[in-house]
């Protein structure tokens, strides 16, 4: 297909447009004049008149205009709408408070003293039941996949995840066989 034919199809909204095609069609004065002529043919077939429009003068005016660039701005606006900055701060504070609260319940200052789960109001597994957790020696009941997952997330989650979260994570096989935390 020639560019002349592309211009004809473009006027009908039937042209596959690529940036390179747009550039060629718009930047070639002969093609633009061709587009104007084809428009006039259509107008005359429909019995319309075509008022004069100086394309060259318009291009000069357009060239003097600042370039429109809205892509980044629009994206950043939508991100702000979805997650305003004040919410980010609030959620950070809430997450920090939650981590401190859970840590203080799971690992009280006294050390290895067993907690009375009824008194604490939280289901806590005593360390003595599952053994001492360690990043180097993972809980034997954990599948290798879970352990790798926890290790991979250690930089993000801190030592809590890899060393101690295993106490609260059961392999899928255990869940499927109906075993429960004791």
Binding footprint of other proteins on the chain (CB under 8 A): 1, 4-5, 8-17, 19, 22-23, 25-27, 32, 34-55, 57-59, 61-63, 65, 67-71, 73-74
CB 159 within 8 A of CB 135: yes
Sign for the pseudo-dihedral over CA of 83, 86, 90, 96: positive
The residue among 68 and 119 lying less far from other proteins, judged by its C-beta, is 68
Considering the complex, what minimum distance in angstroms separates the CB of residue 179 from other proteins? 55
Please state, in angstroms and rounded to a whole number, the distance separating the CA atoms of residues 121 and 103: 15
The residue among 40 and 134 lying less far from other proteins, judged by its C-beta, is 40
Considering the complex, what minimum distance in angstroms separates the CB of residue 84 from other proteins? 20
Considering the complex, what minimum distance in angstroms separates the CB of residue 55 from other proteins? 8
Using CA atoms, how far residue 71 sits from 17, 62, 64, in Å, is 19, 20, 21
146: left (phi > 0), else alpha (psi -120 to 50), else beta?
A: alpha
Residue 142: partners with Cβ closer than 8 Å, 6 or more residues away:
150, 166, 169, 171
Considering the complex, what minimum distance in angstroms separates the CB of residue 181 from other proteins? 53
Considering the complex, what minimum distance in angstroms separates the CB of residue 87 from other proteins? 24
DSSP state of 113: P
The residue among 16 and 118 lying less far from other proteins, judged by its C-beta, is 16
The residue among 59 and 143 lying less far from other proteins, judged by its C-beta, is 59
The residue among 71 and 109 lying less far from other proteins, judged by its C-beta, is 71
């Amino acid at each position: 297909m020639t560019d002349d034919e592309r211009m004809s199809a473009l006027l009908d909204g039937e042209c596959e447009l690529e940036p390179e095609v747009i550039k060629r069609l718009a930047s070639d004065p002969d093609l633009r004049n061709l587009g104007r002529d084809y428009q006039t043919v259509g107008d005359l077939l429909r019995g319309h008149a075509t008022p004069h429009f100086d394309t060259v003068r318009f291009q000069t005016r357009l060239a003097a205009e600042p370039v429109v660039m809205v892509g980044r701005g629009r994206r950043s606006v939508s991100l702000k709408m979805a997650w305003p900055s004040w919410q980010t701060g609030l959620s950070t504070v809430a997450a920090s408070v939650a981590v401190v609260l859970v840590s203080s319940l799971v690992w009280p200052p006294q050390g290895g003293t067993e907690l009375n789960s009824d008194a604490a109001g939280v289901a806590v597994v005593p360390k003595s039941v599952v053994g001492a957790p360690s990043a180097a020696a993972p809980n034997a009941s954990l599948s290798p996949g879970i352990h790798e997952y926890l290790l991979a997330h250690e930089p993000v989650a801190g030592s809590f995840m890899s060393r101690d979260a295993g106490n609260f994570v059961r392999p899928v096989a255990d869940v499927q066989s109906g075993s429960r935390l004791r």
